[in-house]
Amino acid sequence: MTASWYQRTIGTEVEFSGVGLHTGEENTVRLKPAPVQTGIVFVRIDLDPPVHIPLDLAHRREHPRRTSFAVDHAEVHTVEHLLAVLHVLGVQNLFVEIDGVEVPGMDGSAAEFFDGVQAAGVVDQELRGRTLTVREATGVQAQNSSLVALPGDERFRVSYTLHYDAPQSITQYQSFNIDAETFRREIAPARTFVLESEVKELQSRGLGRGASTVNTLVIGPDGPVDNELRFPDELVRHKMLDLIGDLYSLGSKISGHLIAHRSGHALNSDLAVKLSEVYSRERDVEEILIGSHRGLEIRQIQKILPHRYPFLLVDRILEIHDNVRAVGLKNVTYNEEFFQGHFPGQPVMPGVLQIEAMAQLAGVLLLRNTEDINKLAYILSIDNVKFRKTVVPGDQLILEAELKKMRSRTGQVQAKASVDDQVVAEATIRFMIVDAY
């Protein structure tokens, strides 16, 4: 995971109207703010009752020359340009109301969507945003096309090679580190395009009914028909735009380097599915950590901490406040293994295990603050340790950890444990943050 950031929505509603590139129908899209953990949800308000279509891979539908999502028979088409804007701006919670099946094509680019969303304002929310960090080469291919995701340097980079052999030879290459400024200047204005030789065949299939030389670059042997290029390599830049939008079906920012060769919507979707499968554990853990302010039960804790019985000493995490304070509990029972040999005639919980329980709670707190969920927290030092009261079977140990310092490789936590509102142990614990593998 790259440096921590917050989920985002928009500050005010914003509306776009225009003709769908494929249906030719006039539609209006209205973007509305949404609470944390909503995700991107398309709402077909022209249906009775309205149908909510979540942006996720389970609802992806295959249609030629566009990206579509559906619930049952309710579909929404040509969403990729809008999604590219939301991806780059980090908008992860949004209601997208639409009064028809297709998102307006506008001028064939993402520029109007970008400017409209920025004008509405992008607002940070209270929970951490989702990021998928590429850790190993992951790729897909089909015939003469390929798409590979490689580890990067905590940024999102896209490199794309476009090539057509016939009826005209076109080869273009471009590569950018993707951030909001670069996207708006170099990619968002790039318009959708079609080869002149393809037009009749696409129209015979019912596609491109709303396309014109105003909103679509029609590329003939001598260049665009009745239009002018915004960039000499506008075609490859638009392919990059589509790729950025298509991969937002993951619902996450991406940290890594995407290298595409003649990739289109179908292959882009295939890579999204592959990344979701390869990083399923990381995505599951991230969702647990994002929602951990509400508390974690034992199965969720086991997905985060490497410890297992009899050495997992946190039964439940009750709450996490603003990534700086956590509260958990440990139920102390006579069946604990350590009671069999530690003062067996008068069982007392070892003080070192009280410290360990506090350290395990602190480990979850630190993990929420590190830049990478694939990290572990090893104890560096324990200072100012005090044991104030014995802990015996039947006690419920309330654990508290407060983050005092956090750096890229170390963290310091003030921890304490209480029984019946009386402090039984406390310590200052320093940790080293290391790779889990």
In the chain, where the domains are located: 6-284, 291-435
Q: How far apart are CA 371 and CA 255, in angstroms?
A: 12
Q: How far apart are CA 218 and CA 221, in angstroms?
A: 10
Q: Which residue has the tokens 């360990």?
A: 356
Straight-line distance from the first to the last Cα atom of the chain, in angstroms, rounded to the nearest whole number: 15
CB-CB contact of 358 with 424 (8 Å): no
CB-CB contact of 304 with 375 (8 Å): no
Q: Give this prediction's pTM.
A: 0.80
Query: What are the residue ranges of helices labelled H in 33-155?
Result: 80-89, 111-120
* Residue among 22, 257, 265, 293 flagged as catalytic: 265
Cα 202 to Cα 40, 207, 242, distances in angstroms = 30, 5, 19
Q: Which residues does residue 400 pair with via DSSP β-bridges, in sequence order?
A: 327, 416
Domain 6-284 is in which class? alpha beta
Per-residue pLDDT of the chain (437 residues; tens, 9 = 90+): 344 689 999 999 999 999 999 899 999 999 999 999 999 999 999 999 999 999 999 999 988 889 999 999 999 999 999 999 999 999 999 999 999 999 999 999 999 999 999 999 999 998 889 999 999 999 999 989 999 999 988 899 999 999 988 777 899 999 999 999 999 999 999 999 998 888 878 778 877 788 888 899 999 888 899 999 999 999 999 999 999 999 999 999 999 999 999 999 999 999 999 999 999 988 888 888 787 777 888 988 888 888 998 899 999 999 888 778 999 999 999 888 888 888 888 899 999 999 999 999 999 888 877 766 778 889 999 999 999 999 999 999 999 999 999 988 899 999 999 999 999 999 999 999 888 76
Cα 59 to Cα 73, 187, 415, distances in angstroms = 11, 27, 45
pLDDT the model gives residue 126: 86
* Residue among 59, 163, 261, 342 flagged as catalytic: 342
pLDDT the model gives residue 153: 83
Sequence-separated (6 or more) residues with CB below 8 Å from residue 32: 10, 13, 94, 95, 96, 97
> What is the length of the chain?
437
CB-CB contact of 289 with 367 (8 Å): yes
Q: Which residue has the tokens 């028809």?
A: 100
The token pair that represents 3 in the structure block = 């440096």
- Is 342 annotated as catalytic? yes
CATH architecture for the domain at 291-435: Roll (3.10)
- Is 265 annotated as catalytic? yes
Same fold yes or no, 6-284 and 291-435? no
pLDDT the model gives residue 4: 62
Is 308 in a helix, a strand, or coil? coil
Q: How far apart are CA 378 and CA 385, in angstroms?
A: 18
